[in-house]
Structures are given as C-alpha cells and as structure tokens.
C-alpha cells in the first residue's frame, strides 16, 4: 500500500496490487459442502499468494517472524483450549501460570503474577488500567511516556480518558530524562519506560525512571514487548546493560511479547505484574461454566494454545536456542549497519542497541525519504516508516539471512 492510498476504499487499493485476482462471490455460501476441501484450499493458496512471504527476506521492517515449527504444531494440536474459562481448562491454566513464572524468572523475579495476553497492545492497555485503578482519587489522570512509546498507550488513553504527556527525545533519539521528570505532577497516574523502542530498539533508563517513581510515588510500567526477549539473551552473549528488569524495585508491571523475538505463534503477549507493588484489580466473571477465575485480560475467550505453545517452545529451544537466534540477528544488524555506512547517500539514525536499525538520508542524497521508500517498495522491500523522525526501520528478525541483505543492498545501490 502506498502512502497516497490513504483514505481510498480497500477494494480500490487491492485492485492495483500486482497478482490480485479479485474477490470470489461474497454471498454467504448456500450449500453445505458446496465445494471440495481441495478446491477451497487451492483457491485460498492462490488468493493469498499476494501476501508477503517471510522466506523471500523482503519483510525487513516488521517485528514479527514465522513462528517456530514446533510452536505451530503445538498450537494447532491444542487450538481448542480457552483460557477465558479457566475452570474448564485447569491444565492449561497451570501452564499459563508456569509461563508467567518462567518469564518472570528470566527477567529477575519468578514470583510475579500475570497473564498471557493477545500481544503488547493488550498488555499495555491493562497496565494503564491497573495504574488508573490504583489512583481512583485522581480525577484528571495523565500518563508520562517517552515520545518513542508505542501507539498502544494512545489507545489506552483514548479508551480510558487519560491525558498523554510525551517526553522529548534528544538528537540521538534517546530519552530527554530532565524533560521526562518535568512532566510529572499530581495528576500523573503512571510513568512508562521502554525496553526496545518501536522505531529504533533503544532502551530507556529504567533504573532512573524507577527512582522517579519512588520519589513521586507513582505506578511504573515497563514496555519490554520487544526487548524482554532480546536483552536477557544479549547478556548471555556478554553485553552489559544498566538494570532493566523486574529487580528494579519500583516496577509495577512489565510487558513481554512471545510472538516477536520469542518465536511463538500470534497472538501471544504477556503482562507480568509485581503484585507486591500494585493494588491488584482483576476482572471476575461469575457465570462461567468453569467458575469464576479472576484475570487481568481484556479479552474474554482467549487462546490457551498461546500459553501452551510458548511453554513447549521454551522447553524445546532452551535459553541457548534463544541466545543463538539473537546472536544471528545481531550479526546481521552489524553487517547491515557497516554496509549502510559505506553508502554516501545514507546514514544510520543512531547506534543500534539491539537488532533494530534506523536508516536515514544523508545530506549527500538528493532524494526524499518518501521517494527512497517507494522505490524500495516497487522492488518488493517492506521497511517500517517513521515519518516524524525521517527514518526507515529495519528489524533484523531471525528469518532474515545475510543473502537477503546482500540482495537488498544491491537494490539500494542501484537507486543512487
Ligand atoms: C510490538 C510492540 C507493542 C505492541 O505489541 P502488539 O503485540 O503488536 O500488540 C508495544 N510496545 C512495543 C515496544 C512493541 O515493540
């Protein structure tokens, strides 16, 4: 989809995509078993060919990757398990609890409470709800977030009527900490810090924000949707980080997504809650067939298979498996960075912290970022676009190979 397509009906946009073979009948089919399974599958495969394929290496700008084969297998085997009615699925509920504790263990505190969620968005929304429920006396609640925070905090704000105060970034795209502190006031219900920003994979000063949370007595949420399953493995590889995990004493809740660098199946996020710091607020539904089991989740019926497949995948891959994935992704990140720095028309936005790289036009380029991106799109490359910072995002997910990057660089060089 091109930026100029904004506002057009989806049918018009799809019509222009090469290979689009149209809609079939959109009436609800009348006949039971009207078409054979194989005919339907062939039609689906044909129609879905225009979806981008990870194995092509062209999906360079997404934080998603094909789920591990074993996670897919487990997911389909237990696809009927519903964690929305946990009393009916006590086995699944126990596995969910273990997944939360294993994640807690990886991140410095095995005694956390929490739930598997549909992703980072749901987890962040629940965290803001917890902050709100912990501050019911504040009538005009606001949250302080870095300008680099994910859109899910705006969603939470729209849903709950919160005012969003955005702290500026410095010229290297790291948080302007003094500005952040200046935004805190009596109406602040939550401070947010990020472990792996959406645009550049950068890390906020979690310990320093924790100190602010202590000083002003505020709820502190960390969004580690991406970095939560990268940074602990980078530590295993010998990288050093300032304190970032649940050991930071002021942290109340922590978002981590198994469906990003956790290699698990969509939808799989999680919210870890340090209930010693939080007056817990959970939803409790009394009429369920399995009985009332309070949970943090916004979703009702939700896939138990998300918890089960990540449980199985952790057993199968072990820490070492995740460490190897991260090593591969980092090698590609540094390779691409070095190569981009050789091209006079381009520059990197800032030194990468993890496997996310921002690419910008240098002063030598006589082309806009928009134009550069649309030329890349014409060749099939899908990068993330962050207009407010004039950068294209590449996320070096595990499906990207060095050979893909070599092809990408060839196409890039042909543009200039
Ligand atoms: C991906 C991401 C989210 C949103 O997660 P979804 O799983 O897409 O809902 C939120 N915050 C950060 C930092 C992320 O990387």
* Mean pLDDT value across residues 151-164: 98
Side-chain half-sphere exposure of 204, counting CA atoms within 13 A: 29
What mean pLDDT, rounded, does the chain reach?
Answer: 94
Confidence of residue 300 (pLDDT cuts 50, 70, 90): very high
Task: Tell me what pLDDT residue 1 has.
Answer: 45
Q: Which atom of ligand 1 is nearest to the CA of 121?
A: 9
Q: Which atom of ligand 1 is nearest to the CA of 119?
A: 7
CA of 96 from ligand 1 middle (Å) equals 20
What does the domain layout of the chain look like in residue ranges?
10-41, 55-65+324-415, 69-316
Q: Which atom of ligand 1 is nearest to the CA of 149?
A: 13
* Mean pLDDT value across residues 167-189: 98
Tens digit of each residue's pLDDT (9 = 90 or more) over 88-109: 999 999 999 999 999 999 999 9
Task: Tell me what pLDDT residue 4 has.
Answer: 55
H/E segment holding residue 386: strand 384-386
Confidence of residue 6 (pLDDT cuts 50, 70, 90): low
Least confident of 38-42, 204-208, 211-215, 216-220: 38-42
Side-chain half-sphere exposure of 180, counting CA atoms within 13 A: 26
- Residue closest via CA to ligand 1's atom 7 equals 119
Q: Which atom of ligand 1 is nearest to the CA of 150?
A: 11
CA of 223 from ligand 1 middle (Å) equals 8
Residues with CB under 6 A from ligand 1: 63, 119-121, 124, 150, 152, 194, 196, 198, 223, 225-226, 257, 269
Q: Which atom of ligand 1 is nearest to the CA of 226?
A: 15
Tokens matching residue 399 = 């499906």
**Crossing angle of helices 402-415 and 304-341, rounded to 10°:** 50
Task: Tell me what pLDDT residue 17 has.
Answer: 73
C-beta of residue 235 within 8 angstroms of C-beta of residue 204: no
Least confident of 55-69, 277-291, 367-381: 277-291
Tens digit of each residue's pLDDT (9 = 90 or more) over 346-355: 999 999 999 9
Nearest-angstrom CA–CA distance, 279 and 134:
6
Task: Tell me what pLDDT residue 7 has.
Answer: 67
- Residue closest via CA to ligand 1's atom 5 equals 120
For the domain with range 69-316, which CATH number is right: 3.40.190.120, 2.30.30.60, 3.40.640.10, 3.30.1370.160?
Answer: 3.40.640.10
* Mean pLDDT value across residues 335-343: 98
Task: Tell me what pLDDT residue 34 has.
Answer: 74
- Residue closest via CA to ligand 1's atom 4 equals 120
CA of 287 from ligand 1 middle (Å) equals 32
* Mean pLDDT value across residues 360-375: 96
Least confident of 18-22, 250-254, 270-274: 18-22
* Mean pLDDT value across residues 309-320: 98
Residue of 119, 228, 262 with the most ligand 1 atoms within 8 Å of its CB, for mutation: 119
CA of 150 from ligand 1 middle (Å) equals 7
- Residue closest via CA to ligand 1's atom 10 equals 120
Task: Tell me what pLDDT residue 25 has.
Answer: 61
* Three-class DSSP labels, 188-255: EEEEEEEECCCCCCCECCHHHHHHHHHHHCCEEEEECCCHHHCHHHHHHCCCCCCCCCCCCCCCCEEE
Q: Which atom of ligand 1 is nearest to the CA of 63?
A: 1
| Preceding omega of 284 cis (within 30 degrees of 0) | no
* Mean pLDDT value across residues 204-218: 98
pLDDT at 316 over 50: yes
Q: Which atom of ligand 1 is nearest to the CA of 151?
A: 10
Asked whether this chain's domains 55-65+324-415 and 69-316 adopt the same fold, the reply is no
CA of 225 from ligand 1 middle (Å) equals 5
How far from the centroid of its chain's Cα atoms is residue 316's Cα? 23
Residue 223, CA distances (Å) to 107, 122, 154, 207 in order:
13, 11, 14, 14
Task: Tell me what pLDDT residue 33 has.
Answer: 67
Percent share of the chain, pLDDT over 90: 88
C-beta of residue 383 within 8 angstroms of C-beta of residue 376: yes
pLDDT at 3 over 60: no
- CATH class of residue range 55-65+324-415: alpha beta
- Residue closest via CA to ligand 1's atom 3 equals 120
CA of 68 from ligand 1 middle (Å) equals 19
């Amino acid at each position: 989809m091109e930026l100029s397509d904004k506002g057009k009906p989806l049918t018009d946009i799809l019509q222009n995509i090469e290979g689009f073979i149209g809609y079939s009948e959109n009436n609800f089919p009348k006949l039971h078993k009207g078409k054979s399974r194989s005919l339907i599958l062939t039609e689906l495969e044909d129609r879905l060919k225009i979806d981008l394929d990870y194995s092509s290496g062209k999906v360079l700008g997404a934080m998603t990757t094909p789920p591990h084969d074993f996670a897919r297998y487990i997911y389909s085997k237990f696809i009927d398990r519903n964690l929305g009615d946990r009393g009916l699925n006590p086995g699944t509920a126990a596995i969910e609890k273990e997944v939360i504790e294993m994640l807690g263990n990886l991140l410095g505190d095995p005694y956390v409470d929490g739930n598997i969620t549909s992703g980072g968005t749901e987890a962040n929304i629940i965290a803001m709800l917890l902050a709100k429920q912990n501050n019911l006396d504040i009538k005009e609640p606001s949250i302080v977030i870095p300008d680099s925070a994910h859109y899910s905090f705006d969603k939470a704000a729209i849903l709950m009527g919160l005012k969003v105060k955005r702290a500026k970034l410095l010229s290297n795209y790291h948080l302007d900490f003094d500005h952040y502190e200046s935004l805190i006031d009596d109406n602040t219900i939550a401070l947010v810090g990020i472990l792996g920003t959406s645009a550049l994979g950068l890390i906020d000063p979690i310990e320093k924000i924790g100190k602010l949370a202590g000083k002003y007595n505020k709820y502190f949420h960390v969004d580690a949707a991406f970095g939560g399953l990268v940074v602990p493995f980078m530590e295993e590889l010998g990288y050093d980080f300032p304190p970032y995990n649940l050991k930071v004493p002021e942290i109340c809740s922590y978002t981590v997504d198994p469906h990003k660098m956790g290699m698990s199946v969509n939808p799989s996020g999680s919210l870890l809650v340090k209930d010693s710091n939080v007056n817990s607020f959970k939803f409790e539904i009394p009429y369920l067939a399995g009985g009332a089991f309070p949970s943090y989740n916004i979703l009702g019926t939700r896939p138990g298979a998300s918890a089960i497949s990540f449980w199985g995948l952790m057993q199968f891959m072990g820490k070492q498996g995740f460490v190897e994935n991260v090593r591969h992704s980092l090698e590609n990140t540094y390779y691409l960075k070095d190569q981009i720095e050789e091209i006079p028309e381009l520059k990197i936005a800032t030194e990468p912290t993890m496997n996310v790289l921002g690419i910008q036009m240098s002063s030598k380029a006589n082309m806009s970022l928009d134009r550069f991106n649309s030329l890349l799109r014409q060749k099939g490359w899908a990068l993330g676009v962050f207009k407010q910072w004039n950068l294209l995002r590449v996320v070096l997910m595990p499906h990207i190979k060095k050979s893909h990057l070599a092809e990408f660089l060839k196409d890039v060089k042909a543009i200039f």
